[in-house]
Amino acid sequence: MGGHTIDCSRLFSIFMTLSFAITYSTGIIDQGFDCWTRHEDQITLLCQDWNSKCYYQVIHLEGVIPKRRFNLTGYSREKMSNAVAPYYNNSTASFRQVIKLIHDVETNPGPDNYSVNQQKNSTDLKIAHLNARSLKNRHHYLLIKETILSNKFDVFTVSETWLDSKITDLEIEIPGYNIYRVDRENKTGGGVCIYVRQIYKTICLRDISSISASGFHQLWLKVQVRHLKSIIISTVYRPPNTPTSCFDSDLAANFVYASSLCAPIYILGDLNCNLLKPEASDCKVLGNFCSSYNLTQLIREPTRVTEQTSSLLDIILVSDIKQVRESFVKHSSVSDHDLVYLTLRLKKPRTKPVYVNIRSFKHYNREAFYNDISQAPWSVIDVFTDIDDKVNAFNTMFNDILNQHAPIKSIKKFRGEVKREIKLAEREFVLNQIEKDPGNSNNIWKSIRLCIPKKSSSQRIFSQSRFFASVGKSAVDKINDLANEFGFECDRDRFTPRQYPLTEQFSFKEVEPARVGSIISS
């Protein structure tokens, strides 16, 4: 973009590419643009290059025709044809604060609500995937960071990160998120990673997270969301030159391993299979894999659209579709792939039942039990000389006979379930009584009084304490009444305790430490 040079040494050394849209009929710039000034029928656009030089150019409103609409995080944008300035597939939404430093330039804030979904239930989990085509690209990284933070995604998976060991986690970190990654070191491109909120307990399944010999990328995580059930999330990527046989050789084996963890599985990624052409050989192989392992593919719209082609490459495979609340495709300007997204409605784990052991007297016969007890060879106990052995022999013989007549069984403890059912029944009864005659206030208060305890626990405890405190006096009065009834003199032959000399009374004596040590060592 040519034009005049502006002195902007106080700006950061960043690269800003500017995409724009102008409506032909009205000449209004779309809300997706970040900086512009308008004077009559002219638009002034701003851009910065790698040398920290800013350029601006005057664009006339003639001959500009919008062609295709797409957006990222709710901002509407237009791909243009016949425009004076070229189109760049990166947004400048991350540079608003820098743009404000420039004199006489307006910043377009866009719509107030630009996130995918502001309403979020406490049991909802938002998961998204995007083929970024290089997280090394600083602009891609900043756009993905803005997308994650503005939409408050819980888990965000990325394919084609193009990362290697030279790029540290610190360079691509996002506040509040942990990053897990699998890089391709032997050649450029490829690579996958996952951003997960730090508040969730996450375990990386490293045994099944790798890049296979065929080139298939896999990264598996087990995520525990608060007190809800755990889930398994995987991001996958199949390069175009990797054979589809990797679904059975690489993905299937790891899927079986993950299934043994007894948690729902969600697979997101780019498999380079155009599912809009179901008759293609690669689509048939993927379809056979999904049907073999009872997986459901949620995405139905194209995820990569160009001027000539439209294809569905990015997929979401789920093992439990009942937990899926919604799923859709969101247009993105980060790369030529769109963002796929789903929301899960997780469930609380069911409390494990408690079992107790009891004896079953359903078929108990007292006479038969007495007969077996009387005929038992109890004389065997006299063979043993040690008292513990005798007790053990007795218990063994007695329990063997008792188990024959009253066997031990494990039953489920229904105390909690019974209380819950009673509470539900009481609530339903009260509601029915109130709804039966809503105009009768006496009937309503009568129903309400049924829910109020008649006596407090403190009064009950006080009455019990008063009873135990009066036991001594009641016993003395009873003894005196019996003595008077039978003519017995209570004061005659009163018991006098025996007096023991001090030498025979119990007392603690001082012991030397050496004596204690000798006793312990012996």
Q: Which residue type is seen at 150?
A: S
Nearest-5° Cα angle at 15, 171 to 89: 95
- Nearest to 314, CA basis, from 249, 251, 236: 236
- Nearest to 250, CA basis, from 288, 210, 287, 222: 210
* Tens-digit pLDDT profile for residues 103-156: 444 444 444 333 454 455 667 899 999 999 999 999 999 999 999 999 999 999
- Please provide the distance, in angstroms rounded to a whole number, between the alpha carbons at the two ends of the chain: 98
pTM: 0.52
- Backbone angles phi and psi of 228, in degrees to 5: -90, 180
135 close to 161: Cβ distance less than 8 angstroms: yes
pLDDT given at position 414? 67
206 close to 222: Cβ distance less than 8 angstroms: no
Positive or negative, the CA dihedral 163, 166, 171, 177 is: positive
The residue extents of the domains of the chain are 124-347, 355-412, 414-451
Q: Which residue type is seen at 190?
A: G
As a whole-number percent, the residues of the chain with pLDDT over 70 amount to: 72
pLDDT given at position 464? 60
Can you tell me which residue has the tokens 């590419």? 17
Q: How many CA atoms lie within 13 A of 62 on its CB side?
A: 0
Classified as helix, coil or strand, 157 is: strand
pLDDT given at position 266? 97
The length of the chain, given as a count of residues: 522
How many other CB atoms sit within 10 Å of the CB of residue 49?
13
Max distance between CA atoms of the chain, in angstroms, equals: 131
Classified as helix, coil or strand, 156 is: strand
H-assigned helices in 299-386: 366-374
pLDDT given at position 439? 79
H-assigned helices in 375-488: 387-405, 415-436, 441-450, 457-469, 471-485
**Strand-strand pairing, 124-131 and 155-159:** parallel
Classified as helix, coil or strand, 383 is: helix
Weakly modelled stretches of the chain, pLDDT under 70: 1-122, 414-416, 453-465, 490-495, 522
pLDDT given at position 459? 52
pLDDT given at position 98? 44
pLDDT given at position 445? 81
pLDDT given at position 202? 96
Structurally, at CATH architecture level, domain 124-347 sits in 4-Layer Sandwich (3.60)
193: burial class by Cβ within 10 Å (0-12, 13-18, 19+)?
Answer: buried
- Backbone angles phi and psi of 245, in degrees to 5: -65, -15
pLDDT given at position 517? 80
* Tens-digit pLDDT profile for residues 321-337: 999 999 999 988 899 99
